[in-house]
Amino acid sequence: MKISIDTKRRTLDYQTSDSTEVNLPLYSQDAFRLLSEVWLKQEWNQLHWQSFSWLGFHIWQLPEDVLRLQEVIARLKPDLIIETGINNGGSCIFFASLCQMLGRGRVISIDIQISPEVRTAIQDSPFAALITLIEGDSTSTEVIAEVRAHVKPDECVFVFLDSDHHKAHVRRELDAYGPLVTSGSYIVATDGIMERLTDTPNGDLRWSYDNPAEAAREFSKDHPEFVIQRPSALFNDDKTLDNLTYWPDAWLYRHPD
């Protein structure tokens, strides 16, 4: 796609794959959406998303997604947040700090390998009492059973999947943890943006079909109690863009019983 921007005329012109010319006002929502798609690819390829932290813990997320995630947690006030994929501990601390501020909730964080440095940093944090760390394959029988043992009756459960992003693994996680999600809550399969990054320098053509969004779409078809539904913003939802995220088709909402 070829894009031409004229800031003096305030126009954005682009040529589609079939050579159709499209002209847009530069400051329109359609132009915003188009430029956002390009910016997201640039942001990802430059690893800008790896430059952020939460309370001193490295967090590898797009800030837009983190802020929207906070809105959902604040509104939902879950009793239990189950997270797969710890990495450097940023999202684990993010969830636990929200639980502390809300005066409700605790976190179970799972990873196939937790480094001693990350484990120690989490255990030394002010939120350690709210966090249970589990080391192992998130889709193994043993780990799933251990997680289930922590779920109490009538608790509101929210699940966040951010470990191995291969479609097959994400689908196994959805099958394992989807049943734990309570009515009115979500299971989130992050980083479906991969399917849109195949043409970037660091992308992979296989991501067009091997990505978390494909797993989420497949799961929702097999489980009608779940629907892919982006949470609405608390304010001015008409101004939000569905594509300004690393998590397209990620939010699987469980219908109230």
Instruction: Give 168-196 pLDDT, tens digit per residue.
Output: 999 999 999 999 999 999 999 999 999 99
The dotted CATH code for 51-254 is 3.40.50.150
**CB-based contacts of 49: which residues, under 8 Å, 6+ apart?**
43, 60, 61, 62, 246
Q: Cβ(49)–Cβ(43) under 8 Å?
A: yes
Q: Cβ(174)–Cβ(189) under 8 Å?
A: yes
Q: Cβ(94)–Cβ(58) under 8 Å?
A: no
Residues 96-122: tens digit of each pLDDT = 999 999 999 999 999 999 999 999 999
User: Cα–Cα distance between 101 and 171 in angstroms, integer?
Assistant: 32
Q: Cβ(190)–Cβ(247) under 8 Å?
A: yes
Instruction: Say what the pLDDT of residue 17 is.
Output: 74
Instruction: Say what the pLDDT of residue 256 is.
Output: 87
Strands 186-189 and 11-15, how do they pair?
unpaired
Residue among 166, 190, 168, 186 nearest 232 (CA): 186
User: Cα–Cα distance between 176 and 139 in angstroms, integer?
Assistant: 7
Instruction: Say what the pLDDT of residue 1 is.
Output: 77
Q: CA 17, 20, 25, 29: dihedral to nearest 10 degrees?
A: -50
User: Cα–Cα distance between 54 and 57 in angstroms, integer?
Assistant: 5
Cα 52 → chain centroid: 15
Residue 154 Ramachandran class (φ > 0 left, ψ -120 to 50 alpha, else beta): left
Cα 3 → chain centroid: 29
pTM of the predicted protein model: 0.95
Q: CA 118, 120, 121, 125: dihedral to nearest 10 degrees?
A: 140
Per-residue pLDDT of the chain (257 residues; tens, 9 = 90+): 789 999 999 999 998 777 788 999 999 999 999 999 999 999 999 999 999 999 999 999 999 999 999 999 999 999 999 999 999 999 999 999 999 999 999 999 999 999 999 999 999 999 999 999 999 999 999 999 999 999 999 999 999 999 999 999 999 999 999 999 999 999 999 999 999 999 999 999 999 999 999 999 999 999 999 999 999 999 999 889 888 999 999 999 999 87
* Matching residue, tokens 């459960």: 157
Instruction: Say what the pLDDT of residue 226 is.
Output: 98
Q: CA 62, 83, 240, 194: dihedral to nearest 10 degrees?
A: 60
